[in-house]
Amino acid sequence: MATQLQIRRGTNSQVAAFTGAEGEIVVNTTNDSVHVNDGSTAGGFEMARADLNNVSDTSLNAALTGNTVSALTITTLTLGSTAITATGTELNLLDGVTATTAELNYVDGVTSAIQTQINTKAPLASPTFTGTATMDGLTVDSTTGFSWLPVSTAGAKVGAIGTGTGLIINTPSVNSSFGSGLAIDGSYASDLSSVNVKAFGPKFSSYGSELNLFTSDDTSLLKRQTIASNGDISFYEDTGTTPKLFWDASAESLGIGTSSPSRTFHSLGASGISTAGKFEAGGSQVYVQLSSNGQADGDSGYIGYDSSKNLALFTDNTERLRITSAGNAGIGTTSPSTKLQVTGNSSSRNTIVSNVTLDGGTTVAYPYSGFGFGINFIGRDYGNAVRNYASINTVMEATSSNSGGGDAGFKAGLSFYTNGGGASDTDPQERMRIDSLGNVGIGVVPEAWHSAFTEVLQVGVASLITSGGDNARVFSNAYYDGAYKRIGTGYAHSYEQTGGTHRWFSAASGSADSSISWEESMRIDPNGCLLRNTTSSTVNSSGGEIIVLNDGNRAAINVAADSTSSRTGILFTNPNGTVGSISMSGSGISIVQSSDQRLKDNIQDAEAEDAGALIDAIQVRQFDWKADGSHQRFGMVAQELTTVAPEAVSAPEDPDEMMGVDYSKLVPMLVKEIQSLRARVTQLENN
């Protein structure tokens, strides 16, 4: 036994950190308490104060749990926030319940007078319970059609659980007897069990009902589905505020992304570019079938997509349109090689089949001349700017005053545009037009040609025209609309080929759209004869390959040279070569006949006696010409000369044609005679 007593003191923290000797007492100045140490436990063991101020509720409960208090006098008792007071004859629980002292003498598991009364007491008609009631089982029964177990909070009814033909969960409503609720019942028929969940309004009929389903995200309840009284069904997005899938019961329409579906199925994606729906198949192809009511599958239409990234459109169970993974579209073909390929399927010969139709689709009433539509070709230039490359357009040319039932005066043509380049905003310009009559204008809109000319090609002011048969014409600065007129100010020209004849015309200068008076300049007849100032290859009873009728205004033929040097004006040839020519010099002309030795055989001197005799035989005459009465003092008559010098006489095969004399053919004869005379004169002079 210890022989020494030690007493220390310190604050609560100091005492907690101190380990005293066995039996040593330490005073806690913070808690005003005493700690007894065992020599090994830091802080020792704190002794309870008389007022229990330093004993926690947990420690007190632990000390009392499982122990029996034999005698306890409580002057004032508070349970929760409710004060309980008692007298010798009454316990006031503040809820209207009273009991005697004998009745309260009850301990769980011990039979007493109060236990007997509770076991035998009849059920209360309308019992009221406060606080928490724990029961092993609860049975609610009623002699009426419904049994109810009302549920209240703070005296306010918040609902009821009951039974009728099934389980009913009732909630408050404007009706004092019945609220809105949920009924669950079941049925069984033909080996099939059914569970029915029903939302109802007050009294099941006086008001409509709506069923809402909620889930919790650990912080709040979020609406997930609503079934309205009219049968509309809404499914909500993740926040539970906006319906994203909606079934409109009255319209029998389903909306995704919209609560107002305008069609049987209406999918509305997010703003901007979004995917509003997706169809995916487990295989390499997926099809969406489109059918009218009762239509067989083989007669349906389809939209298909395959693993090769091709999109196809079917009608009557046959593919009609395909867009390949390369972006090429094919109509009538499954392998288009360009951005758009249209393949016809006509099996008829000598027929025209339209594979593509462009409809202007105008809704404008009574469009005027100049209205049109067509195809634009658009791309980028080297600077990556978008440019209008070219276009092909229809053009309305004329109308009539008829405003209903078709336009009898309607006419339309086709125009072609190309871009000549320039600034990035340069638009294509019209380069060619085919008008309603089939006339073609290149670089110009064709003039209003008369229908007598069935095909016209007009390039600027030049035109190539046919009018059927073997007739073709070329015009310059001229057109025909019932009368010949100038396109613009200036001269006009025409070339015509008809009936085997070629004709050239010209017209004097005039103003635009003024009338033209043509003058024929030249023609080549069907025989190939060139005619000038005449339309016949026979003039003055004579014909020729080239006929120039001199009208007295100018020379019939002007053979001109570009200098005073010698120039050949006319050359005469035959299969043997050149046989003659007419040449000019600075002061005259030379008429040359072929006389080359290489062209001759049996060359000998001419007989002088022959020359003299022939010259003596030539009859030199004087005479008057019948045509104009002119007198010629020296000349010869062809018929007389032909017996003396036939080589100098031209005698046509037709005896009715006039004979002629080539006086140049007499020159060699005269030269020979002069030579003979000179020889005799020399001989006489020498003698």
Low-confidence ranges of the chain (pLDDT < 50): 89-99, 101-111, 174-176
**Residues near 599 by beta carbon (within 8 Å), at least 6 away in sequence:** 576
Give 21's DSSP letter: P
Tokens of 205: 């009929």
Dihedral pair phi/psi, residue 515, rounded to 5°:
-70, 150
**What is the structure's pLDDT at 210?**
82
Q: How far apart are CA 247 and CA 249, in angstroms?
A: 6
What are the residues facing 567 on neighbouring strands? 584
- Residue 285 in contact with residue 306, Cβ under 8 Å? yes
Please name which of 450, 374, 467 lies closest in space to residue 413, comparing C-alpha atoms: 374
Residue with tokens 């993974």: 325
Q: How far apart are CA 202 and CA 209, in angstroms?
A: 8
Q: How many CB atoms lie within 10 A of CB 212?
A: 14
**What is the structure's pLDDT at 110?**
46
- Number of helices (H), then strands (E), belonging to the chain: the values are 6, 48
Whole-prediction pTM value?
0.45
3-state class of 518 per DSSP? coil
Dihedral pair phi/psi, residue 276, rounded to 5°:
-90, -15
Q: How far apart are CA 396 and CA 155, in angstroms?
A: 88
Tokens of 105: 């003498």
Q: How many CB atoms lie within 10 A of CB 10?
A: 16
Give 80's DSSP letter: T
Tokens of 682: 């020399």
Tokens of 339: 């951005």
- Residue 457 in contact with residue 464, Cβ under 8 Å? yes
Q: How far apart are CA 246 and CA 593, in angstroms?
A: 114
Helices 667-686 & 608-617 angle (0-180, nearest 10): 120
* DSSP conformation letters of 29-85: TTTTEEEE--SSSTT-EEPPPTT-TT--HHHHHHHHTT---S----S-EEETTEEEE
Can you name the CATH fold of 7-58? Answer: Seminal Fluid Protein  PDC-109 (Domain B) (2.10.10)
**What is the structure's pLDDT at 487?**
92
Could you read off the pLDDT of 651-669 as tens digits, one per residue?
A: 888 888 889 999 988 998 8
Q: How many CB atoms lie within 10 A of CB 246?
A: 20
**What is the structure's pLDDT at 507?**
95
Q: How far apart are CA 520 and CA 36, in angstroms?
A: 153
Dihedral pair phi/psi, residue 355, rounded to 5°:
-85, -25
* DSSP conformation letters of 205-235: TTS---EEEEEE-SSSEEEEEEE-TTS-EEE
Tokens of 124: 């209360």
- Residue 435 in contact with residue 413, Cβ under 8 Å? yes
**What is the structure's pLDDT at 245?**
92
Going across the sheet that includes 45-46, the strands are 7-10, 25-28, 33-36, 45-46
CA distances from 189 to 177, 184, 195, 196 (A): 34, 17, 12, 14
3-state class of 651 per DSSP? coil
**What is the structure's pLDDT at 79?**
59
Domain spans in the chain, listed from the N-terminal domain onward = 7-58, 152-267, 285-343, 559-595, 609-687
Please name which of 237, 235, 225, 236 lies closest in space to residue 199, comparing C-alpha atoms: 225
Tokens of 6: 């030690």
